[in-house]
């Protein structure tokens, strides 16, 4: 049986990260309910969604290794998702300015036999105490409406931060690459052996 890797996401940001491994892969978007469950912690939430995304695609891709990933920003112990609108983005950024905020990404590598390899990766971000005008300008230029916490670290979002803490900044983009390589090795897959020259 040939090896096939499937990213359970339509995110171009996650796809760009996964391309770094030089392992051929395809993408498919899972259709799941992302509503948090009552009393669910942010860690439980992102890990559950990562698992559900991978599992949702398995029936149509039974021979694939499937990567499910989900990200949230944690503010005052509560998960914060994508803003969707400029007004929501401004409110999200106003809530976090001058604070240290944790971002969490849940990751699941699902084997063709149904074995799951999972982790939750945290990353801390220290936000500058910027003016509302500066935040509005950032939102207008960057349009980070489809990103948890309303910023894109791979773009102008880096100007919002005074410091970053964690082992893998890719958490902020939604796919912890160090963790993914760890999960692949736990599953008996060596990323370097699968990489194309």
Q: Check if 132 is active-site.
A: no
| CA–CA dist 103, 71 (Å, integer) | 7
Instruction: Identify which of 85, 64, 80, 187 has the alpha carbon closest to the alpha carbon of residue 146.
Output: 85
HSE-CB of 117 using CA atoms within 13 angstroms: 19
Q: Is 174 helix (H, G, I), strand (E, B) or coil?
A: coil
| Token pair in block for residue 178 | 């160090």
Q: In terms of DSSP bridges, do strands 5-7 and 65-75 run parallel, antiparallel, or are they unpaired?
A: parallel
Query: Among residues 31, 33, 39, 70, which one is catalytic?
Result: 70
> How far is the C-alpha of 98 from the C-alpha of 148, rounded, in Å?
18
Q: Are 109 and 184 in contact (CB under 8 A)?
A: yes
* Catalytic residue positions, numbered: 70
């Amino acid at each position: 049986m040939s090896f096939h890797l499937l990213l359970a996401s339509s995110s171009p940001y996650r796809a760009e990260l996964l391309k770094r491994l030089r392992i051929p892969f395809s993408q498919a978007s899972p259709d799941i309910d992302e509503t948090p469950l009552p009393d669910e912690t942010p860690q439980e939430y992102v890990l559950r969604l990562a698992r559900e995304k991978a599992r949702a695609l398995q029936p149509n891709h039974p021979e694939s290794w499937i990567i499910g990933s989900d990200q949230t920003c944690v503010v005052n112990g509560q998960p914060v998702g994508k803003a969707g609108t400029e007004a929501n983005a401004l409110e999200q950024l106003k809530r976090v300015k001058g604070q240290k905020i944790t971002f969490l990404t849940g990751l699941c590598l699902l084997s063709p036999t149904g074995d799951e390899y999972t982790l939750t990766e945290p990353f801390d971000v220290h936000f500058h105490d910027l003016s509302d005008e500066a935040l509005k300008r950032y939102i207008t230029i960057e349009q980070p409406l489809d990103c948890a916490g309303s910023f894109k670290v791979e773009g102008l979002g880096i100007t919002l931060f005074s410091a970053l803490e964690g082992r893998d900044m890719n958490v902020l983009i939604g796919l912890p690459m160090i963790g993914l390589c760890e999960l692949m090795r736990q599953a008996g897959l060596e990323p370097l052996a699968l990489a194309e020259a």
